[in-house]
Structure 1
């Protein structure tokens, strides 16, 4: 009989070992990362093309996303519906999306159908149609999504924060969906040219996880991707954004019952500084339910249902931010409490906080590798940030090795409570006066795209 009143004790130290990552390069320059996982008859393919929205040309913001959306709208002898039906009949799942750094193509298939599924994937990668009617249909979807985004305070807050944080000289300030004016000017020929320039074998990496072998992967590549373009395109250097003083950017949303708040600043990049110390620092500060920020704003003050913080890492840049949504009347109070917590973390963390953060991260780490898609998804970080070969197998040991001094040093070097960008989306008539209590922050009113308007 189990006594439910007694809290179960941990069974001991967590141990984790990911099956070996076999890395090799094909003749066409395509990099392969393969992890054998054969407890289920499945194969997961994940293709990363270095062709995200940061490569959108001036005046064509949203081109990467439109290109990704049109890729599977017909290839070789199949139109869009036929291609979708072929994939469905195999019981396979295909998805294509664009992010800031990459276009990501995901295909999961049964092992017995892996050859045919990969054949279809090869057609999509090497012989997409980009027909005008398909392109215009996808363009209409994007224009609708842009209109819907303007009515979503959460998405508006995210964008006006990053737009003003990175500055319009940085491609990371661009909205990956694109601007309405730019989308209207983009043509199917633009998408085809973007595809021809950036979606090449030499500019991509293929992650394979599942019940297969290196020999089988080599055969698939030889059969279906041997004619894929090999060149590595010339890519412009991403400009470094400049740190700014404290500023409040505000987007008015009349009659809003809540205010969306983002507070943060630029941060060191993924491979700069002590990553594991930064990870533990954020876990204590705002990275879990029991973090300081959430306990303050949710449990103690009752301002919100939840508040969190994170270090957000792109390939070439990074930033730290706090995110929450609060009732309109508590906008100023919530900002004050967040800034207070950012300042207080500089005084250091406690032994108990550090040990709890370590325990939380260590115990949940193995669960990030339960499914084939999870393993493949985690390996994208290895590709994007050129992580060491033993990164995953030494992850837990690296967390355990972090000291309180390491975390406190990270707090001093990575959190700047006096140099924050504060982005707010809310009802100006009810919120503007509350923001007067932050006289050190310049107030700037912006539109839903983050562009400066008149304060009024």
Structure 2
């Protein structure tokens, strides 16, 4: 959730930020040439730094292990609500003044939570770095959680949840996760929570989560922009040095995925059926992950060139879009896909999707498909690094995945190393060894909900 709401033309400072952002893409080096430094503060806090003085802008991204998986079982949505409140007053500064300072100084500060991590981002002009760092220090270490702020942000989350109850895409995604993980694993609980659970979250819950999860031992930091190691090192201690040394995370078990195929139909009065499908995937540290990544690009990750797009949309006009992706989690791994089609074509669309998954599992890709996919994936990689924020976020994820500080430089070599037998083996493992889990939202003709099901 981006919390900076100022208009870039409002002040000379904001106009300068707009110019800095526009220059950002041109100034930063391509991915293969990124020079990453490991910086350790006097207090022992580590960050990865890409120093680029050509643009007067600094971007910091960071993450703590935990995320929504650390929400109490009876209060899902806690981490998500916390992410909206850290800049709603901190220290002696109340919410309105905190937001005003961010806007006046053109500082962007945002927080968000996914299933496994809690993220933060800071972007500022170099001339305002000291003030930005101080505001971030307060937000992380001394959030106020005033009653009026909690009430206001809770109301925004509840309004969003009510809208999502009528959004077939949101319903499909939520019900698919529940189908796969069940009601007892943390991954089966909605990241944003429910109307009931969010209504019961208190300021004490928010404080308790922050105190358990925000700790130095799981912290990963990346900084990109107009700053050098000498200046960064003490700032790391200023922002994060007061945090507790070790997080008190509740243990999260490995998710036991269902055996065999599962299908759920959620009836909704809409002209289209939303389809979510998937199955067991490969974790990020699996030896076949990179081969599976290439295979998925060929199957459904390659937009207009993918098999699913060609078969479902181009040849038959069944869906405007169809896609798939790998979703590795800390305690599970999934292969996920989706499509939307007319109710009277839902059964046909699902049959085509099943057939293409089975064909890929049995035959694997062709040599030509593999070569084209590898060329595209290598050539498009620098697009992930065309702004300081993108570089910083990628570096945080590389740290969280344990891939090593040289990963950017060796990643394309890893893609090159995927041979046809590697790809076919990965296709069998990804698509041929587990069940297919399907959720359909709409009124799909020719498909019936299981007895007693949704």
Match of 1:375 in 2: 391
Shift of 1:26: 4.0
Shift of 1:105: 1.2
Q: Give per-residue Cα distances to partners, 1:239-298, cap 9 Å, x unaligned.
A: 3323321111111102x1000001111212111132221111001111112100001111
**C-alpha root-mean-square deviation of aligned residues, in Å?**
1.8
State whether residues 31 and 385 of structure 2, in contact with CA within 8 Å, keep that contact through their aligned partners in structure 1. no
Shift of 1:54: 0.6
Match of 2:375 in 1: 359
Q: Hey, what's the Cα distance between the residues in 2 that align with 1:84 and 1:17?
A: 38
State whether residues 28 and 202 of structure 1, in contact with CA within 8 Å, keep that contact through their aligned partners in structure 2. no
Match of 1:85 in 2: 100
In the alignment, structure 1 residue 137 sits paired with structure 2 residue 149: no
Q: Hey, what's the Cα distance between the residues in 1 that align with 2:44 and 2:213?
A: 13
Match of 1:395 in 2: 411
State whether residues 214 and 247 of structure 2, in contact with CA within 8 Å, keep that contact through their aligned partners in structure 1. no
- List aligned pairs for 1:124-273, cutoff 5 A: 124-254=139-269, 256-273=270-287
Scaled by the length of structure 1, the TM-score of the pair is 0.89
Q: 1:395 to 1:385 in 2, by over 3 A?
A: same
Matched residue of 1:271: which SS? coil
Q: Give per-residue Cα distances to partners, 1:289-315, cap 9 Å, x unaligned.
A: 210000111100101111011111223
Structure 1's unaligned 5+ residue stretches are: 1-14, 437-442, 446-453
Q: Hey, what's the Cα distance between the residues in 1 that align with 2:252 and 2:284?
A: 17
Shift of 1:233: 2.0
Aligned pairs, number:
423
Q: Hey, what's the Cα distance between the residues in 2 that align with 1:25 and 1:201?
A: 13
Match of 1:325 in 2: 340
Structure 2's unaligned 5+ residue stretches are: 1-29
1:435 to 435, 444, 447: 447
Match of 1:4 in 2: none
State whether residues 118 and 224 of structure 1, in contact with CA within 8 Å, keep that contact through their aligned partners in structure 2. yes
Shift of 1:224: 4.4
Q: Hey, what's the Cα distance between the residues in 2 that align with 1:195 and 1:141?
A: 21
Matched residue of 1:302: which SS? coil
Matched residue of 1:113: which SS? helix
In the alignment, structure 1 residue 302 sits paired with structure 2 residue 314: no
State whether residues 324 and 337 of structure 2, in contact with CA within 8 Å, keep that contact through their aligned partners in structure 1. yes
In the alignment, structure 1 residue 45 sits paired with structure 2 residue 57: no
Matched residue of 1:393: which SS? helix
Match of 2:19 in 1: none
State whether residues 299 and 324 of structure 2, in contact with CA within 8 Å, keep that contact through their aligned partners in structure 1. yes
Matched residue of 1:49: which SS? strand
Match of 1:350 in 2: 366
Matched residue of 1:435: which SS? coil
Q: Give per-residue Cα distances to partners, 1:357-391, cap 9 Å, x unaligned.
A: 11111111112111101101111221221112221
